[in-house]
Amino acid sequence: MPVDVVLLLYSSWILGACVLVSGADRILRFSEQGTFKILQVADMHYGNGASTGCSDLTATQMPFCSDLNTTAFVRRLIHEESPDLIVFTGDNIDWAASDAKVSMDAAFAPAIESNIPWAAVLGNHDVESNLRRPELMEYIAQLKNSLAKVIDPPAEGVYGWGNFYHSVLGPAGADTENLSLLNLYFLDSGDNSKLPGIKGYDWIRRSQQIWFSNLSQKLRAASSAPALAFFHIPLPEYDTVLYRDQISGRQLEDVYSAPVNSGFFSTLLESGDVKATFVGHDHINDYCGKLMGVHLCYGGGTGYHAYGRVGVERRARIIVATINEEVQGHFPNISTWKRLDDTHMSKIDTELLEL
């Protein structure tokens, strides 16, 4: 049986029968050069295209600015970095989108037209248009080259829409071509608290943590590959790391996490495979900090309709996994940097995330 078929069946076995899979369920793998590059795009806040204005810019910076500037920036990023995977970490659209499907088509257009595999999770603002959370994710999952998957929560008992994973295999023709060298988790961190009397943002629920723990255990039984996790709302530990460790990048606003600590960071520590998490939500935070062996990273705001700060360029994060031939199993090193939407697409804050 071809390896692609085996992997697809294996994915279905792990995630359960009630999974809606995109038509382009492509296999991710490292390049012949031993690299796998991810472009993280956070907080586009796409509205109605040319008619949706920008925030926190001076008239001299961009006298004519709209959602189309966000589109142009994402296209520049793809051209500059040639990623192997594009990950949108939520708040892809917001209240300004009159028709969620039309706005998502435009927001994801640079990824779709690039023919590069891409995935997306939802943030707290995506639901402010005319589609509910399940409808949003089901639409995203069927778009061209989308690797998003949707578990039916009532059937599987897992809270949220858009909890899924993908493995990145070794280079074609290498001894590791059928082995996962890196696993990628995607989780729905919700929008707003649903508990009476508790106001604020949502959190990764216990059922999701059980799903994650079970999946992590199964993946680690097959390979001890490291993993990265992508979701929208930062964990409370993103604030904790500010007081315990030196960070790279900038903190220009508070950490707006949930009002309660769901314990997901402890779940990550117990599972042991996730070495870094990547979130959005707080647009003018773009730092990474290491806490108890896990790197907690922001993407930085990409969208022009979204709030920012005058004088702070929109940006996006690049994550590169490079196979380490000296490590047993050839598991990768992880490096990261950011690109700014300025004249030179400046590359800043390059660092190695020690695993």
Report whether pLDDT(49) > 50: yes
Kindly tell me the sign of the dihedral angle through the C-alpha atoms of 185, 147, 161, 219.
negative
Cα 335 to Cα 37: distance, rounded to the nearest angstrom: 10
- pTM beyond 0.95: no
Measured between alpha carbons, how far is 347 from 337 in angstroms, rounded to an integer? 7
Q: Using 50, 70 and 90 to split pLDDT, how confident is the model at 151? A: confident
Amino acid letter, 9: L
Strand locations in 1-106, DSSP E? 19-21, 28-29, 35-41, 85-89
159, 205 contact by CB (below 8 A): yes
Mean pLDDT computed over 288-314? 97
Q: pLDDT confidence of 311, banded at 50, 70, 90?
A: very high
Q: Is the pLDDT of residue 34 over 60?
A: yes
What are the beta bridge partners of residue 180? 169
Token pair listed for 82: 């040639």
pLDDT at 18 over 50: no
Phi, psi of 289 (to 5 degrees): -145, 150
Q: 94, 90, 89, 78: which is closest to 46 by C-alpha?
A: 94
Beta-carbon contacts of 139 under 8 Å, excluding residues fewer than 6 positions away, are: 100, 101, 104, 131
Q: Angle at which helices 67-81 and 100-107 pack, to 10 degrees?
A: 40
For the chain, the domain total comes to 1
Range(s) of the domain holding residue 227: 3-353
- pLDDT tens digits for range 216-267: 999 999 999 999 999 999 999 999 999 987 899 999 999 999 999 999 999 9
How many beta carbons lie within 10 A of that of residue 156, not counting itself? Answer: 16
Question: Both tokens of residue 155?
Answer: 């059937």
Joined tokens for residue 36? 């796998």
Residues 319-334 pLDDT 10s: 999 999 888 778 899 9
Q: What pLDDT, in 10s, does the model give residues 175-230?
A: 999 999 999 999 999 999 999 999 999 999 999 999 999 999 999 999 999 999 99
Average pLDDT (106-134) is 97
Per-residue pLDDT tens for 100-113? 999 999 999 999 99
Nearest to 123 by CA among 164, 92, 158: 92
For the chain, report the end-to-end CA distance as a whole number of angstroms. 35
Q: Which residues pair with 333 in a beta bridge?
A: 322
At 139, which CATH number? 3.60.21.10
CB-based contact 284:37 (threshold 8 Å): no
pLDDT greater at residue 111 or residue 3: 111
CB 77 within 8 A of CB 116: no
Contact 274, 264 (CB under 8 A): no
Report the alpha-carbon distance of residue 334 to residue 41 in Å, rounded.
Answer: 18
- Token pair for 107: 């927001």
Q: What size, in residues, is the chain?
A: 355
φ and ψ of 297, to 5 deg: -125, 140
What is the four-CA torsion angle of 274, 118, 280, 154, rounded to 10 degrees? -70
Please give the Cα distance from 54 to 42 (Å, whole number). Answer: 16
Q: Is the pLDDT of residue 285 over 80?
A: yes
Residues 6+ apart with CB under 8 A from 282: 234, 253, 254, 255, 256, 298
